[in-house]
Structure 1
Amino acid sequence: MHKSHLPISDNTNDDGDRQVLQTTGFKNCVTRLLEAGIQFQPNIDVAEEIFLHIKYLKGVVKMPPLRIHEATESIFRNLIAFEQCSIATSHCITSYVFLMSSLLSSLHDAEILHHKNIIKYDLIGGRSGSDSGIHEDVAALFKSMWDGVVLKDCCFSKLCKEVNNYPRSWFDWRRLIAIVKVKCRGYAIVLPSKYFATPWTTMSLIAAVMILVFTAMQTYYTTSTYYRQY
């Protein structure tokens, strides 16, 4: 079972740069990484069972879909125990759990990955996949599984290093476009609930916009008249 989850070509860390990664993975959760310009996409080129086949290229993290069902925790815990007890086995499953726990800081992070078809749900406890309680359970699941676990080496250290360093590159146009998209989505969600919730807030917003427009027009005509005189 352990071998069936491993990628056919183990190039998750092909530069040989393996390092101990006890309580870190990505420095930021999914929400913060999106705000920093990192994009997440499902890697549909591989089967769901090979969820370790994570790729990163130019600000885009591609992750195979992971299907969460009632036996997921049991399977992961047994695979982690197998890695902890075996000397010759790499800690790829343990590395994946560390990686996911660093991404899922809250139920909102799990909701984002679910929306992007990276995390999929079977019915759990009779609740639908849209229930926020499931997102919260999944976020807590990965954090609970690495309690008391020792990570010998991280199979994703190179990937984590590249992703963590990406927000430092301000001159990448892909990153700037991704940041603008995230900001626009955030404003599209906040504006209706905050400024169009009642007629009074809607009228106040319209009045503020009209004042801003009139002020800009007045400034323009005043400036143009001044330059015409001289």
Structure 2
Amino acid sequence: MHLAVSFFSFILNNPPEPAHDISILHFTDLVRCLYLKQPPCSRERKQMALSYGANELSEAGVKFIVNKPSSSHGCILDMEFENGTLKIPHIEVHDGTEIWLRNVVALEQCYYPYKHYISDYVRFIGQLIRTKKDVDVLIKAGIIDYMIGGGNDQSSVAKLFSDVRMNMVVTSTSVDFLQICDDMNAYYNNPWNNKMATLRRDYFNTPWTTVASIAGIVLLILTVIQTVCSLLQI
């Protein structure tokens, strides 16, 4: 087990060894086990539904940052959404990524039809990055590093996750992903969040526009005060 974990650690960011009481079927099952939270969270018989991509969410004010691995675990499923910030573990997307994703997803479809946690991850990322702009948002946030075929076409990243999750049979979803999707949909649909994001993007995106916007607000306030004072003197 120690030798096997050491071999796979170069693609799994030095994961901890699985507990001794866990039964491992073969190497693909070992890779899946190394990616899982221990113990895995509960599931519900619901479909995952993230209504907006990363670019739309970013324009609504959602921030994307890398969720740093803890000293004991670096699971790719360690995601959390709080106060408008989505934390996602870093992932490297290269020519071999689709291979191990397809193998693990196929394993779950056959042997873990009610505990397909890696499939949940693929579906979530697939719904989060639907276009090149969505991929750009996660690349700029440092969440995704891509090295596919030596090219620079970010759309290939979105296509990868779209292809892997095609024809996937789903019976349930991790409650963690369901909660994150519900919270992010609610955040986007909140008019206040959209207005504040537009204000920051259009009027406070650079130091100069910030100074100009503040000066304009101060001038408007002074004009109102002067008008009120003039009316009071009449």
**TM bucket, shorter chain:** 0.5 to 0.7
The amino acid across from 1:42 in the alignment is V
The amino acid across from 2:233 in the alignment is R
Q: Is the 8 A contact 1:34 1:182 kept in 2?
A: no
Q: Is the 8 A contact 2:114 2:171 kept in 1?
A: no
Deviation of 1:117 (Å):
1.1
Q: 1:124 aligns to what?
A: 148
Are 2:164 and 1:145 equivalent residues in the alignment? yes
Are 2:127 and 1:102 equivalent residues in the alignment? yes
The amino acid across from 2:129 in the alignment is L
Q: TM-score, normalised by structure 2?
A: 0.67
154 and 184 in structure 1: CA distance in 2 versus 1, 3 angstrom threshold: same
CA distance in 1, matches of 2:224, 2:74: 63
| CA RMSD across the alignment | 3.5
The amino acid across from 1:228 in the alignment is Q
CA distance in 2, matches of 1:80, 1:162: 26
Are 2:46 and 1:20 equivalent residues in the alignment? yes
Q: Is the 8 A contact 2:129 2:158 kept in 1?
A: yes
Q: 1:78 aligns to what?
A: 103
Deviation of 1:168 (Å):
5.1
> SS at the partner of 2:81?
strand
CA distance in 2, matches of 1:141, 1:182: 32
Q: 2:233 aligns to what?
A: 228
Deviation of 1:88 (Å):
6.2
45 and 168 in structure 1: CA distance in 2 versus 1, 3 angstrom threshold: same
* Map 1:80-229 → 2, pairs under 5 A: 80-87=105-112, 90-121=115-146, 123-127=147-151, 131=152, 133=153, 135-155=154-174, 156-167=177-188, 176=193, 180=196, 183-185=199-201, 225=230, 227-229=232-234
CA distance in 1, matches of 2:82, 2:223: 49
Are 2:35 and 1:35 equivalent residues in the alignment? no
Q: Is the 8 A contact 1:29 1:109 kept in 2?
A: yes
CA distance in 2, matches of 1:62, 1:151: 25
CA distance in 1, matches of 2:84, 2:223: 44
Deviation of 1:111 (Å):
0.6
Q: TM-score, normalised by structure 1?
A: 0.68
Q: How many residues align?
A: 193
Q: 1:7-33 CA deviation, whole Å, 9 max, x = no partner?
A: 23423xx5x5x1232xx5311111222
Q: 1:73-109 CA deviation, whole Å, 9 max, x = no partner?
A: 1111111100111146611111111101111121111
Q: Which runs of 5+ in 1 are unaligned?
A: 190-212
The amino acid across from 1:184 in the alignment is R
> SS at the partner of 2:173?
coil
Deviation of 1:136 (Å):
0.8
Q: Is the 8 A contact 1:110 1:139 kept in 2?
A: yes
Same amino acid, percent of matched pairs: 24
